[in-house]
Amino acid sequence: MGPQSAKTPPGADTPEVNAPAFSTSVTDTTLSDALLTLRKRRAVVIICVLLGLAYGIYKAGTQPRVFEAFGRIQVRSGSSNEYRVSAVQGYTGDATGSRMLAEVAILESDSLMLAVAREMDLANNPDFLGGKAPVPRAALDDPRVRQDTIHRLQSSLHIMLVQKTDIIRIGYSSLSPKLAADIVNKVIAAYIQRSYETRFASTQRVSNWLSGQLDDLKQQVQTSQEQLMDLQKRLGILGFDQNHSQINASVEQLSKASNDAHIARILAESRYRMLSSMDPNSIEASIDTASGATASGLNQLRGQYATAKATYAQMESTLGPNHPQAKAQKAQIDELSREIDTEEQRLVLQAKENYLAARTNEDQTSAALEAQKADAYKLRDDLVEYTIRQREFESNRNLYEGLLQRLRTAGVQAGLESLEIDVVDQAMLPAAPVLRPVSTIILTGLIFGLLGGIGLAFLLESLDTGLRSVAEIERITELPSLAIVPRARRTATDQSTLSVAERNIISLSQPKSQFAEAFRSLRTALLLSSAGQPPKVILLTSATPSEGKTTAASNLAVILAQGKARVLLIDADLRRPNVHHRFGINARVGLTTLLTGATTLEQTVQHVPNVPNLDVLVSGPVPPFPTEMLSSESMTTLLEQCCRMYTHVIIDSPPILSVTDGVILAHEADAVVLVVRHGKSSKHVVRRARDLLMRSGAPITGIMLNAVDMSSPEYYGYYGYSGYSYSGVDAESWESPSRAARHAETTDEVKR
């Protein structure tokens, strides 16, 4: 048997086999893919283009005769900036663009539209409503009527800025030319009136606010002035120099007097202490230097005392101490001594009194100085408060006067604001209706139809889950495409002369057709799929029924047998066998009888007369348990025996998503081909089938796209080469929509 003969049973635990080293590198949608999609959905695009063209013709023929009236206004800025209350309200050059956009928004505002509708009674105007006036009369107080009227008015009103100017163009479209002109003029008038009223009201609000602020400031100025006057009265001055006041002069004089008294006290105290502590005999020397001392009296007494003592000493030596004159002189001496003592005590007492007087003078002077300093400190605090009060008064007065001046200019500004809007052109009655060119309307409908058709085509393509291109299938499955088999087409030849096999197998009846060439491409791809040797056991399966497995297996077996190889075709679909019908052979014995041991291989296989090298092993009677029979050891032994007798063994298996028979047989094969029917299989179904095969360890070789419409844009010219085709009846009998497809055939390029 082939390389897969020694594989473990499918039910055993096997590691997951990695996907083949094949991937599509192009995943983005290219321009060619988009063109292919449009060609495939060209019917949708053509229908949408025709609908768009018909709609454009209808709109061009039924467009209403609309009259458009327009007027122009100029919104000037800066005419009254010098009188504005604040610079914030003024417009600068940089804000011109935003200001003009704001004015356009005001012109389109609901409030302005409502004012125009009320004044013109548009809710009951038949020309405005495009029909008869409502009965009873409609009122704009009704929210629904108001909203409908405003929306109708705004939808026909066209407001635009004239580039690089301050001019606004206002237009209105209506079936009535007079109504169009009246609405434009009324919008301009209402806008001017609103501009004046809003700006005047804004200025009035500012004025009222300033008036309230001025009242508060006026009260604050009065309060500050009263506090300043009270402080002046308390200080006793109307105004004074802070550097040369009377209190400062008094402080200076008292400070000097205090210093002098302090010095006098020190001198008096030192003289007193000196006199009270010195020798009485030495007082005489310091009396003269003492301030206020009578040095002559004490000196005279001392002189008389000295003279008396000298006289007494002389008398005592001459007259004797008892002499009356001596005694009289002695008495005089004693009297002088007492007078000297009395004078000395008087001088000490006088010095003490002078000291006490100086100290008292010093104390009084210091007390007066401290009191004056306290007055000076208090005066300094009063001066600070006076300065603060004065500055507060000046500040409040300046603010009051400035706001008062602004308030006076606000009245002037309120009158100037309305002069900033000038009417450049009044709306006139339009002379002719405004009609769009017929060609423009038709071209617009045609373009929209084309764009809608393209969008719808891509939408349908994105919603289509069917696999229709090779690139898409390779991207979904990550497997290579082995062949693209076109849709089988019967020729007009006489079918009665053909055998059953020739009628059912196109490779026999039309060997030179594109269909046969596709299977030759499949044969080449399979033979080159393995590096060592060509695969012996080849299994063909699909995800779901009716995808062409039996057709593919039969034609592949015929193509392989047309060479020198011996080929065995096994119908392993034991539930719905169909191979025997294709070849017109008997199905009484087959695979089931062979597996049960009722027949041998030589007795069971049947030969195909048209293909000498091809043998067919049909399914035989339908068994009750097909899965158990296909997974038995007898099936493995049979495949080994067939591999020894035949060059290739082709197995037609059931769909793998319906039953597990295909997965079991795939585990025994050397090469597995997944058949995908064009336009039938969905993406998730094919991906699910691929996953089942990969997890079972099956040697999946690639995919075969079956029943392809070669006239579709994806495959246009796929099998055709310019200048190369078959000649003869076979080439002419092939039916295909395109001439290149009818006369050109080729094989797939195999790059594995």
Q: How far apart are CA 116 and CA 179, in angstroms?
A: 12
Q: How far apart are CA 283 and CA 299, in angstroms?
A: 11
**How does strand 648-652 pair with strand 567-571?**
parallel
pLDDT in tens, 542-599: 988 888 889 999 999 999 998 888 999 999 998 889 888 888 888 889 999 999 988 8
Written as one string, the DSSP assignment of 207-225 is: HHHHHHHHHHHHHHHHHHH
Q: Which two tokens stand for residue 202?
A: 């804004």
Q: How far is CA 38 from CA 459, 720, 738, in A?
A: 11, 22, 18
The predicted pLDDT at position 455 comes to 92
CA angle 69, 168, 172 (to 5 degrees): 25
The predicted pLDDT at position 382 comes to 67
Q: How far apart are CA 543 and CA 557, in angstroms?
A: 21
Instruction: Look at residue 319 and give its three-state secondary structure.
Output: coil
Q: How far apart are CA 594 and CA 600, in angstroms?
A: 6
SS (H, E, C) 50-90: HHHHHHHHHHHHHCCCEEEEEEEEEECCCCCHHHCCCHHHC
Name the residue with tokens 């695979």: 591
The predicted pLDDT at position 306 comes to 81
Angle at which helices 295-318 and 324-416 cross, to 10°: 170
Find all residues with CB under 8 Å of 655, minimum gap 6, and list them: 541, 542, 543, 544, 545, 547, 549, 662
- Of the chain, the end-to-end C-alpha distance in Å amounts to 24
Instruction: Look at residue 149 and give its three-state secondary structure.
Output: helix
Whether 719 and 744 have beta carbons less than 8 Å apart is answered as: yes
The predicted pLDDT at position 743 comes to 32
Angle at which helices 31-40 and 42-62 cross, to 10°: 80
Picking from 198, 199, 182, 197, the residue whose alpha carbon sits closest to that of residue 119 is 182
CA angle 625, 629, 630 (to 5 degrees): 120
The predicted pLDDT at position 721 comes to 39
Torsion over CA: 141, 142, 143, 144 (sign): negative
Q: How far apart are CA 687 and CA 498, in angstroms?
A: 40
Whether 677 and 519 have beta carbons less than 8 Å apart is answered as: no
SS (H, E, C) 581-635: HHHCCCCCCCHHHHHCCCCCHHHHCEEECCEEEEEEECCCCCCCCHHHHHCCHHH
Q: How far is CA 106 from CA 156, 341, 604, 648, in A?
A: 16, 122, 97, 88
DSSP at 165: S
CA angle 167, 170, 174 (to 5 degrees): 165
Name the residue with tokens 């009578």: 294
Instruction: Look at residue 16 and give its three-state secondary structure.
Output: coil
The predicted pLDDT at position 342 comes to 81
Picking from 527, 550, 548, the residue whose alpha carbon sits closest to that of residue 484 is 548
Find all residues with CB under 8 Å of 621, minimum gap 6, and list them: 587, 588, 590, 592, 593
Q: How far apart are CA 400 and CA 392, in angstroms?
A: 12
Q: How far apart are CA 623 and CA 576, in angstroms?
A: 11
Instruction: Look at residue 555 and give its three-state secondary structure.
Output: helix
The predicted pLDDT at position 672 comes to 93
Torsion over CA: 427, 430, 433, 434 (sign): negative
The CATH H-level superfamily of 478-489+510-740 is: P-loop containing nucleotide triphosphate hydrolases (3.40.50.300)
Q: How far is CA 568 from CA 175, 445, 606, 642, 645, in A?
A: 86, 63, 10, 8, 9
pLDDT in tens, 44-57: 999 999 999 999 99
- Chain centroid to Cα 246, Å, comes to 77
The predicted pLDDT at position 749 comes to 32
Instruction: Look at residue 571 and give its three-state secondary structure.
Output: strand
Find all residues with CB under 8 Å of 66, minimum gap 6, and list them: 173, 174, 175, 433, 434, 435
* Ranges of the chain whose pLDDT falls below 50: 1-21, 23-28, 80-92, 238-240, 243-244, 285, 287-294, 417-419, 720-752
| Number of neighbours of residue 579 by Cβ within 10 angstroms | 24
- Torsional class of 371: left (φ above 0), alpha (ψ -120 to 50), beta (otherwise): alpha
E strands along 297-436, which residues? 421-425
DSSP at 513: S
